[in-house]
Structure 1
């Protein structure tokens, strides 16, 4: 639940940051206000990133890391096999008999 909340929080900050940047580019009338908003959001973003990194370092499990590496290697091997089969079929289809 907390990881979903953290993800939602990051997404909200990201949207607000891009929104403030877009408003700053669209309305050159008050660049100081938008600059402050963008700087504030950037500060919040950096704080949130630091908190997420700290949380990740606290909850780092080597067994999970090993499982993820194993899953990646197996899935990439399977994908390369299927990509090879697909390219062979495509070349056969294009070349003909």
Structure 2
């Protein structure tokens, strides 16, 4: 969860940074002929592509194989523990439902 939060925070800061600095868009010769909605859509699309590219680059820089192995190990251990506790819980429920016979 920490990595996802970190990436989300970086993405948010990147978008805000682009908004504050103002992305340099190619000058259009006849900008008045385009409707405002099309201009806004094009601007948002440019911001989105820039943010997506930056987030992908950040993810590729911070990707560590040891972290991936640790996550897999934690997942396998936690699923093994949960299956054990689920089995115990199921046995308790069945014992309660059966009662003393």
1:75 aligns with 2:78: yes
**What is the CA–CA distance in structure 1 between the aligned matches of 2:41 and 2:85, rounded to whole Å?**
46
Shift of the 89–50 alpha-carbon distance from structure 1 to 2, 3 Å rule, reads farther
Runs of 4+, deviation exceeding 4 Å: 33-47
The TM-score normalised by the length of structure 1 is 0.54
- Of the two, which has the highest radius of gyration? 2
Q: Which runs of 5+ in 1 are unaligned?
A: 11-32
How many residues in Structure 1 have an aligned counterpart in Structure 2? 76
2:94 counterpart residue number: 91
When the two chains are superposed, the root-mean-square deviation of aligned CA atoms in Å is: 3.4
Shift of the 85–39 alpha-carbon distance from structure 1 to 2, 3 Å rule, reads farther
The structure where helix makes up a greater share of residues is 1
